[in-house]
Amino acid sequence: MNKSKFITPQEREAYRIGYECGRQEGLKKASLLIQLVASDSNEFKESILQNSKEAIELRKIFTEKGE
């Protein structure tokens, strides 16, 4: 096992947080790649558009106004 190059607990914690964020982003991209391979590209594009931050916010606005 490699000796840690981080001396302080803050450095170790910052590394751990950064590593976990990178890991999550990698898993998200792998999931999108699997979806693309498993589905039609038009369906994949539509799925991405429907789940974008902007589309989600727009749906929230419309549903809150209607209540």
pLDDT band, residue 1 (cuts 50/70/90): very low
What DSSP string runs through 22-53? HHHHHHHHHHHHHHHHHS-HHHHHHHHHHTSH
**pLDDT tens per residue, range 4-60:** 676 899 999 999 999 999 999 999 889 888 877 887 777 777 877 787 888 888 888
pLDDT of residue 21: 95
Give the pTM: 0.51
pLDDT of residue 36: 78
Question: DSSP secondary-structure letter at 55?
Answer: H
Domain map of the chain by residue range? 9-66
Q: Is the pLDDT of residue 3 over 70?
A: no
Q: CA–CA separation, 16 vs 10, rounded Å?
A: 10
